[in-house]
Structure 1
């Protein structure tokens, strides 16, 4: 794969396209009755809301009917990759015996790899990460090659080991990107900040990797240049917060949070439709 191809691994290819997917997230993944889901569903069993055409029967009313978890999920393009490339457009409903089970096992593996593609692509776009360009491009090339493995090899893949290798590069990228932020930079990696009162907090250049920010009040917080990889932002209040230049923030994280028209976002992300319209 050429470097030019590597640099274009973004946009539509790394976002879910339900039109080219056989509803894999609605079948392969399990969920439990909770604030996010209205009922229990084991892995491999179709959601009762999944129609025969692989579309959601309650798509426009998911939040109102207790399926908020569905509205904040994105496969990073893994669904269409598995459906159209790995299995060559063969529907799990009509495919050979055993293929459906294999497809459901492959999907979460490719989803993890596609999430890594998203992070690596973003890292390559950060000017501060230029010293790591060669390593990042090689990791991107290798990750893309892994997504193209045959189904049996994908099922057997130690994706955790690959994630750990990539994370070394992403951590170094974070250090370089945050070094340009003046002043003391907070290190809140993995911190328990559930429900924390962080209104107006200065979190410029902070590392919030894997932090638990569930229902945290980040109203008006300054998160410019912060590393948010893996941060749990479910129901976090980002009203009027400044996320300009924040990196390794994904659309699913943003969709799980609350915000406003005054919340400033990285250019690569879109304002969730359910956010309030206050300015």
Structure 2
């Protein structure tokens, strides 16, 4: 039988220094989300322009978040100060201070096939140690594929689709910050489609779920589910003060066993 003591020692070392993770928010949208016009803890508050609907609906046999835009909220139907195309992006924010990983399930409707224009998706507001905004990492669906945006690219980048992509199904969208290497990772169904500069970002301050209207206005509902924002403390947990003595004792015991079996 192989000597297990060295493996035990390694387990003690790495187990003692393992990163800790925490859930910032997990939402399954089994009931209507709490809405607000302005920023407030624990609420979904307006980003740019409030979508016509942001509520729980039964869809495909489960409770989902339905985000709806309306033809009435095209450029002609909005107040003069919000008539520009900037306000075609209609969604809501939720504060997730300290998170460094975001994910959500997004339904890719078959009606999106060969559709022209942006549809919507998951946005993040990333910040540095001083809570200054560093980037807006975004993953959306556009013209039969996903696209991403970061402040480093300052433009949309088409990234294709994940293996096994199909219309008429949910896909999991995820954005993660690797602060140690200053990188954003964008994944769909666990497959990384893009990795690039995080522009000094350390964490997310909030996340945004967007539906995209048009100048003329369009009636469209998109569906989300299973939102998760987590924080992983990448600094190692301090080793117990007694661990060096324990490891020294294990080392001596291993040496003794080797002499007996020589």
**Whose radius of gyration is greater, 1 or 2?**
2
TM-score, structure 2 as length reference: 0.23
**Higher percent of residues as helix:** 1
Q: As a proportion of its length, which structure holds more strand?
A: 2
**Structure showing greater relative contact order (alpha-carbon pairs closer than 8 Å, 6 or more residues apart):** 2
